[in-house]
Structure 1
Amino acid sequence: MWSNTNQFIIFVDLIMQKLFTYFLILISISFIFSACSSYEAVLKSKDINLKLAKANEYYEKKDYQKANELYAMVTPVLRGTKSFEAVYLKYAYSYFNLKDYLSASLHFKNYVDVFPTSKESENAEYMHALCLYKLAPKASLEQTNTIKALDALQSFVNTHPNSLHTEEANKLIENSIKKLEQKEADAAQLYFKIGQYKAASVSFKSVLRNYPESEKSDYYQYFIIKSLYLYAHSSIETKQKERYSNVVSAFEELQNEHPNSTFIKDAEKYKNLSINFLKTIDNELK
């Protein structure tokens, strides 16, 4: 059957490799079924100590889903005992590690309320705020959660100015403020795009008022000038003098507050056009 001994050896070697592969697969399947069977047995067990021990074991192995399910079973029973505090905190962290930030935020907040003097209370308070921050959507969406996160982060910084988390919390506060600013600025820009120039100027002024330290303040002032000019230009003659004058005043504000702004040159065009229209109006009144 075999032309030489080497072919037979190669054939046997291939068979052994396949058998070894099948063996490993069977061992893996057996291990998985065994692990599942073991976990199911723990879930069905009435032994609280066993469930707690396994929950902690799964938690240390970063199997947060199984740990979370077991913590959910033992925490109601352990309430009022010495071990409840540590277990409940791990329960909250298991939600966080599962990226269920809504549940995590609620449990971290509850931990702070129940254990206000705990050495872990400060960390839990920060984690509550961090969860709210992670729940906040992008700037184009409704920003209720961003406002909640900002309030929680600001409260944390005010209460714990020397915390190890304060620096990071301040960065998250800055990011949240920028997101809220972007939301308002986008709304103002939309008014401008659809030709609602009065609403655009009012909205950009609102952004400036709400975020006076914004890095984009000269940008907003430029669009106020542009919006005011286009609003004046489309107004009835009896309203134009006042509205062109507003353009000139807005330009002077930009020039005084941001003399080196890159928007000065373009903004000056609208100022000069407004001045020319004002001269024309004055000449017509003579």
Structure 2
Amino acid sequence: MKKINIFLIILLSILAVSCGKKKRKNMTSEESFSYAFELYKKGKYEKAIQEFTIITLNFPGSNIADDSQFYLAECYFDTKQFLLAQSEYQRLVYDFPNSEFVDDAEYKTALSLYKMAPKNTSLDITDLERALAKFQEFFEAYPKSELVPEIESKIKECRLKLAKKTFNNAETYRKIGYYGSAITYYNFVLQKYYDTDYADDAQYRKGYTYLKAKKYSDSKRELEIFLQNYQKSVFIDEAKKKLKEAEKKLAKQVLEEETETAKK
């Protein structure tokens, strides 16, 4: 992670003042960057974007090219233009793989995608899924980064939102009587988001859905798994009632099948 020190900031400010007295075409790469950076610090993002863009085009091989690329992305991020921001962060990663800004750019790419995702999980969650993947990639690539605690928090948050989306899909199918599809989505919750707050609910609803589908043996099995694994769940009492119902109906079903077999 790269940081500009106090001395450099002061130096850039001095250069920026002198740059104001110079014609744009006569500026060196360092003077151009100091001018753009001063605009960025003052919150003049639109003008700063123009200047950083010019630097990346005119001085692609200079020692401030990656700095300019990073702060170009920062301008877009600070003005909430997250689609453009993540694109520019990724350009830095690809064009300057040895830059000290790479880890910051990787993190900000993930954060941009996260902020692009709609808060309402009933809408498209593609950006949220991409953000989760990027956060996980960062965690694996930079396990000792000072950003790890925040990354872990964001990963947990993304997983919880995705679990909610998947669980709600299951609930929708269950309520309209598409029990097979509902169980498929409950299984997704249990397999992919087993460590979220939706896991116990999914396991209980799975057993209940089998009961509604008149698959009493499956219902009994899943409700027993629930009672064994989620003893502190708020659904414990309800699950016990449903288990008794499943056992009773299963016994009746078995008896009826035996009776039918005896008649043949």
Q: Give the TM-score range, shorter chain.
A: 0.7 to 0.9
Identity of aligned residues (%): 29
> Which stretches of structure 1, 4 residues or longer, exceed 6 Å deviation after superposition?
none
- Residue from 273, 279, 284 that aligns with 2:245: 273
Secondary structure of the structure 1 residue equivalent to 2:204: helix
In the alignment, structure 1 residue 62 sits paired with structure 2 residue 40: no
In the alignment, structure 1 residue 112 sits paired with structure 2 residue 112: no
* CA shift in 2, pair 1:55/1:224, >3 Å: same
For residue 273 of structure 1, report the CA deviation from its aligned partner.
1.8
Structure of higher CA gyration radius: 1
Normalised to the residue count of structure 1, the TM-score between the two structures is 0.75
For residue 48 of structure 1, report the CA deviation from its aligned partner.
5.8
Question: Cα deviations across residues 75-96 of structure 1 (Å, max 9, x unaligned)?
Answer: 2112122332222222121111
1:170 corresponding residue in structure 2: 152
In the alignment, structure 1 residue 93 sits paired with structure 2 residue 65: no
Query: Could you tell which deviates more after superposition, 106-115 or 222-231?
Result: 106-115
* CA shift in 2, pair 1:283/1:46, >3 Å: closer
**RMSD (CA atoms):** 2.1
5+ residue gaps, structure 1, are 1-41, 233-242
What count of residue pairs does the alignment treat as equivalent? 233
In the alignment, structure 1 residue 203 sits paired with structure 2 residue 175: no
Secondary structure of the structure 2 residue equivalent to 1:47: helix
- Alpha-carbon separation, structure 2, partners of 1:189 and 1:167: 33
In the alignment, structure 1 residue 256 sits paired with structure 2 residue 238: no
- Alpha-carbon separation, structure 2, partners of 1:185 and 1:48: 61
- Residue from 196, 199, 207 that aligns with 1:217: 199
Normalised to the residue count of structure 2, the TM-score between the two structures is 0.80
Is the Cα–Cα contact under 8 Å of residues 65 and 98 in structure 1 kept in the other structure? Answer: no
Question: Cα deviations across residues 228-251 of structure 1 (Å, max 9, x unaligned)?
Answer: 11110xxxxxxxxxx211111111
* CA shift in 2, pair 1:86/1:202, >3 Å: closer
* CA shift in 2, pair 1:80/1:270, >3 Å: same
- Alpha-carbon separation, structure 1, partners of 2:34 and 2:200: 60
- Alpha-carbon separation, structure 1, partners of 2:220 and 2:199: 18
Give the aligned residue type for 2:243: K
- Alpha-carbon separation, structure 2, partners of 1:215 and 1:116: 39
5+ residue gaps, structure 2, are 1-19, 260-264
- Alpha-carbon separation, structure 2, partners of 1:266 and 1:280: 21
2:142 corresponding residue in structure 1: 160
Is the Cα–Cα contact under 8 Å of residues 227 and 239 in structure 2 kept in the other structure? Answer: no
- Alpha-carbon separation, structure 2, partners of 1:278 and 1:82: 75
* CA shift in 2, pair 1:282/1:100, >3 Å: closer
The within-5 A match list for 1:42-53 is 47=25, 49=27
In the alignment, structure 1 residue 84 sits paired with structure 2 residue 65: yes
